Homo-oligomer: A and B are copies of this chain.
Amino acid sequence: MKLDDLKVSCSSCSLSELCLPRGLSSAELNELDNSIEHKYKCERDAHLFRSGDPLRAIYAVRSGSFKATVLTGEGAEQVVGFYLPGELLGLDGFAEQQHTCNVIALESASVCELPYPDFESLCGQFAGLRKQLMHLVGREISSGNRMLLALGQLNAEERLATFLMSMSKRFAERGFSPTEFNLSMPRHDLANYLGIAVETISRLFARLQKNGLLEVNRRNIRIVDAQRLSQLAHERCVPVTGISP
């Protein structure tokens, strides 16, 4: 992870409608801009922070993508979320002022950094910021619950369909095609996240392709029959947005 002393600006950021600045007045936005001083760049596999690190700042993904993981006592890894541009990282650290998960770049990525003390004082001053924070925090909690639902109630195929529909929606929100996209994570991380073996993921992709729901080429996914895919995912009630730190 290396420091880029680039000045970043929320006011002119294309992600502002997804991120912390949403709904802020221009006065609030200016203050926020003053506090966000740096942009960090992470290479693939670099840690943004680790479980146990003190909570120094919260981060917003600016480009690229990240995974969040938790480790068992034996060192086995569980992926607990994937993060796309505009999503917030570090909220887990609010509990004890230190992080409880590891956040790792899946590809070259960059984040905006908002030092925690600044963040705390801005929250005291601006109701709009508090509101948007609460919105994002609530999403984090709700999305964790949807993931528990998926792991507890859905079979392997339904989980994968749910995941793909959720990615589709998130890409669409960011202005990308909802029907064709590249996954930034290897099968290994995807399988781990969904609680499924890598081999099973591979077989499921093959089956969904054979049945005409998808076209899969390595990490490139094209959704051919969104209708049937969303049926598989039990849409309308169980969209896993995949947020979660």
Question: Which one of B72, B96, B138, B151 lies within 8 Å of A238 (CB-CB)?
Answer: B72
Main DSSP-derived SS at the A contact region? helix
Are A141's CB and B73's CB within 8 A? Answer: no
List the number of copies, as a whole number.
2
The interface-forming segment of A10-18, A104-112, A119-127, A216-224 is A119-127
Interface string of A210-245 (1 = CB under 8 A from B): 000000000000000000000000111110000011
Chain B residues with CB under 8 A of A195: 151-152
| Interface range on chain A (Cβ under 8 Å from partner) | 35 or more
Residues of B within 8 A of A80 (CB): 145, 148-149
Q: Which residues of A contact B (CB under 8 A)?
A: 68, 70-74, 76, 78, 80, 91-96, 100-101, 120, 123-124, 127, 130-131, 134-142, 144-149, 151-154, 192, 195, 234-238, 244-245
